[in-house]
Chains A and B, each alone.
Chain A
Amino acid sequence: MTTTTGSSSATGATGAGRTRVEGRDKVTGAARYAGEIPFAGLAHGWLVLSTIARGRVTAVADEPVLAMPGVLAVLHHGNAPRVDADYVGMLGRPNPVVGLFQHDRVPFTGWPVALVVAETSEQAREAAEALVVGYEEEPHDVAFRAGRDDAYRPEDSPMVQADAGKGDVRAQLDGAAFVVDAQYTTPEEHHCTMEPHAATARWDDGRLDVIDSNQGSGWVAAEIAQLFSLDRDSVRVRSEHIGGAFGSKGLSAHQVAAVMATTVLGRPVRVVMTRRQMFSLVGYRSPTAQRVRIAADADGRLRAFDHEALNLTSTVHEFVETSAVLGRVLYDAEAHRTRHRVVRLDVPTPTWMRAPGEAPGSFAIESALDELAEKCGIDPIALRARNEPATGPVSGLPFSSRNVLACFEEGARRFGWADRDPRPGLRREGRWLLGTGTAAASYPSGVGRSTAAVTAEADGTFTVRINASDIGTGARTAMTLVAADALQVNPDLVRTRIGDSDLGHAMIAGGSTGTRSWGWAVRLAAADLRERLALGGGIPPEGITARSDTADAIDALPQQERHSFGAQFAEAAVDVTTGEVRVRRLLGIFAAGAIVNPLTARSQLTGGMTWGLSMALHEEAVRDAATGGHVNADLAGYHVASHADVPLVEADWVDDPVPGDPVGIKGVGEIGIVGVAAAIANAVWHATGVRHRELPIRPDRVLRAAGETPGA
């Protein structure tokens, strides 16, 4: 196949489109998610969240609630089991919100203050709503905006390098032929997984057994063990089917509440978040305020690239939305500066959300590049080609592979870019002004240590054990195909077990690292097994098992810039008399290494692009300054793109071999969203002549802009 790259395959299992191995279960309703496993004696927990944004709890009137029918317990800071949230987990210190009911402080609206447990969910809900909580309220501040004088530079960490730079930005700006200096903002955005966070916990023969919806069951098991000071082996977390995650499904309040309640009551307890609770408990993408300054020579070569991004965090935990890291990969300049700043407010802590950093960052810099192209009078794709760096602009390291220009070339051909008249505001079709736009995309291709076991069974089949998480990515199917390829057998002979912390250590499903990390471990174990089987001899009843651990192989990787790349194309129609913006088509072409399963990879890519459309036009969580809470914490008020919003969305890829890389897989979970909002905003400019630097591009903003810009 021309669209397949990477190692050659004897069976051709990878590279050929395969439907999901759990597909039949998903289309018949047989697939069970975390809140759907029945247990005898199951009790239901319902969280109670604070209604003030800052202060302390003075009283929890649990007596009348305990007298209500079916109520079994009310847990709060006065009686909850003690936990130790002062630990360092796989991704750093935990969000203090998991230190449930340990003190009376309230740091934001929606902080969990109690859990009501009852025999049925109806009883628990009514009792939770009846629980009177007294507060001592203090003044709060939830106003995020650019230019706050209390913004600070976050400390560098393994996850975040706050500032990077070289050269003299001021000097290069002064001497440049063209300068773009613009502010861009993106709003607070929420993951809104279709499946609300849910966990059932119980003690089973001395072990804690948690059925949960998460993106790393080993990760969550380890965090629970640390939090409750338990032996790691005494905690088992299972997560077979996961109804979406997008960065929001690690350790949260629901698992902790369920574990506390089952420990206190001695019976299984399920805690499911309500849709409204998810808006304050599971993290979100911080709003951003970004300033981009780019200076170029007369021929469009960059002399200065300067990107400063501000995000908010809570008063109890730091999260940095790494919006400015994208420029460290995409563009070089004589003077290059990228900086992150953070402001602490009385709000919940943000977290990773699909393409954290790159999604909002790409809106700013890919819009700015388009503005520069306009000023220079150079085609936006030609401008990017002219500034293609040979090595990492800040690191100086070589790229493992970088085929972004091939993406633009193929995308331009398929989108019909060559026929585009660059002048804005010229194309009209009835009430619609039409325009097209483009943007570059990039996202890191990371890897994390994983272990796997592959067994040749006595009946001629094979069993793969890898603690992967299938959050909708098709991981179960992908690992089946990777194993079949390495074993050189038909995928129908391979069973893959995932989503169980007892399967051993593996990387989480996050940061587009899953397929690369797990696939590597599976390939090593399967290759080892194949060699052992080649020696001949029978297979004993217990089978023959080969195991792998990628720790050493990962350590041996050379230092390189490893990223997926892409080119996004959008066509937008704008009605400036109603303010309506409709996206007519999206095309994304990607360079993302070897594609394991084209069917599911394409779904991930178009899914990411659909997120980009939703980000560009719809999504915006609005916080009320008076209460500190949301005014639109539901799926009617917080609109995510629906069927009618989403036009023709196409994704494809170019060959992207990664020379010398032992895996060749890069990951496709995030790259699809990167750049889409900028491509749409650039198309709206091309349609109307108006730049939209604030997301989402709402009708009122289109109308206001049309009013301010005569002729637009």
Chain B
Amino acid sequence: MAPPTSSAVTLHINGEKYTLTVDHRTTLLDALRERLDLTGTKKGCDQGQCGACTVLLDGRRSVACLQLAVAAEGREITTIEGVADGDRLHPVQQAFLDLDGYQCGYCTPGQICSAVAVIEEHAAGWPSAVTEDLRPEAEAPALTADEIRERMSGNLCRCGAYAQIVRAVARAAENVTDEVKEPVA
């Protein structure tokens, strides 16, 4: 008997549980887009080079095109549809909207998911390739424009909205930090 070519999986996405049978070849990206109608996660290259399909797996950035759906079982998956708090946009989303951090919008969900994680990675003290002082006792680097550019470089934007995206991420980082200090009532 031929080995099975599909399996039932349970995926935890944006706080919801989805059980479905998937072809073993199905990527997490295709499962989201073709099976679960979560089309906010975009397919730009399908080979891990553009970042349009960036989602958060257990809070960390991951390109969904290089992840098999069957391997994502048990992980907490956050897609662009799960970034906002109900009708209230995440500060990153709001900043992209206000500062025109996009044009065609196709890379935008990936940029936003990436930016959400960048702000958290930075707040957690993770260095980047442009961080100058890498000693363990060094103070966390400021989230400068160069730090944002470096950390966001896995997300291509062919419209060339980088200048506005960097401003949006910087503004959102301030807002996120402020909210941590002074939670909005």
Chain A interface residues toward B at CB < 8 A: 19-20, 22-33, 35-36, 38, 120-123, 126, 191-196, 241-244, 246, 272, 274-275, 471-474, 599-600, 602-604, 606-611, 614, 634-636, 640-644, 646, 648-650
Contact = CB atoms under 8 A, between A and B. Distances in A.
Contacts of A36: 33, 39
B47 A603 contact: no
Nearest to B97: A23
A634 B50 CA distance: 10
Contacts of B47: 275, 634, 636
Interface of B: 23, 25-26, 30, 33-34, 37-47, 49-50, 52, 79-81, 83-84, 89, 93-94, 96-98, 100, 102-109, 112, 145, 148-150, 152-153, 155-166
A603 B164 contact: yes
Given A29-B40, A35-B43, A600-B100, 13 more contacts: A19-B98, A28-B84, A33-B42, A121-B30, A122-B26, A195-B44, A472-B103, A606-B164, A636-B49, A643-B165, A643-B166, A648-B145, A648-B163
A32 B39 contact: yes
Contacts of A635: 44-45, 49-50, 156
Contact of A643 (B23, B43, B108, B148): B148
Given A29-B80, A31-B105, A244-B158, A196 B93 contact: no
Nearest to B25: A122
Contact of B156 (A123, A194, A606, A649): A194
Contacts of B155: 642-643
8 contacts: A28-B89, A121-B30, A195-B44, A195-B106, A241-B104, A244-B106, A636-B47, A636-B49
Nearest to B163: A649
Nearest to A245: B104
A472 B149 contact: no
B50 A194 contact: yes
B30 A122 contact: yes
Nearest to B93: A27
A509 B83 CA distance: 32
A-B pairs, 9 with minimum CB distance: A29-B40, A243-B106, A610-B160, A472-B104, A472-B103, A607-B160, A26-B105, A29-B80, A36-B39
A472 B97 contact: no
Nearest to A610: B160
Contact of A642 (B96, B97, B153): B153
Nearest to A611: B160
Contact of B158 (A20, A242, A640): A640
B156 A634 contact: no
Given A275-B47, A634-B49, A642-B153, A471 B162 contact: no
Nearest to B33: A36
B106 A122 contact: no
Nearest to A25: B105
Contact of A473 (B34, B97, B103, B157): B103
A599 B105 contact: no
B100 A20 contact: yes
Contacts of B157: 194, 643
B104 A242 contact: yes
A634 B158 contact: no
Nearest to A597: B100
Contact of B159 (A244, A643, A648): A244
A31 B33 CA distance: 13
A346 B74 CA distance: 51
A643 B81 contact: no
Contacts of B161: 603, 606-607
A20 B165 CA distance: 15
A31 B109 CA distance: 10
B158 to A, nearest CB: 5
Nearest to B94: A27
A474 B103 contact: yes
A604 B97 CA distance: 15
Contacts of A603: 100, 103, 159, 161, 164
A295 to B, nearest CB: 37
Given A474-B103, A635-B49, A643-B162, A196 B44 contact: yes
Contacts of A602: 100
A620 B25 CA distance: 33
Contacts of A474: 103
A467 B23 CA distance: 40
B44 A275 contact: yes
B52 A194 contact: yes
B109 A644 contact: no
A375 to B, nearest CB: 34
A431 to B, nearest CB: 15
B62 to A, nearest CB: 16
Given A26-B105, A26-B108, A636-B49, A193 B26 contact: no
A704 B152 CA distance: 32
A243 B162 CA distance: 16
Interface centre among A27, A122, A243, A611 (most CB of B within 10 A): A27
A270 B109 CA distance: 23
B34 A33 contact: no
A243 B98 contact: no
> Which among B46, B100, B106, B160 has the greatest number of chain A C-beta atoms within 10 A?
B160
A55 B163 CA distance: 47
Nearest to A600: B100
Given A27-B96, A29-B109, A607 B153 contact: no
Interface centre among B45, B81, B83, B148 (most CB of A within 10 A): B45
Contacts of B37: 38
Nearest to B5: A69
Contacts of A472: 102-105, 159
A622 to B, nearest CB: 17
B163 A646 contact: yes
Contacts of A610: 160, 162-163
Contact of A28 (B25, B49, B93): B93
Contacts of B148: 643
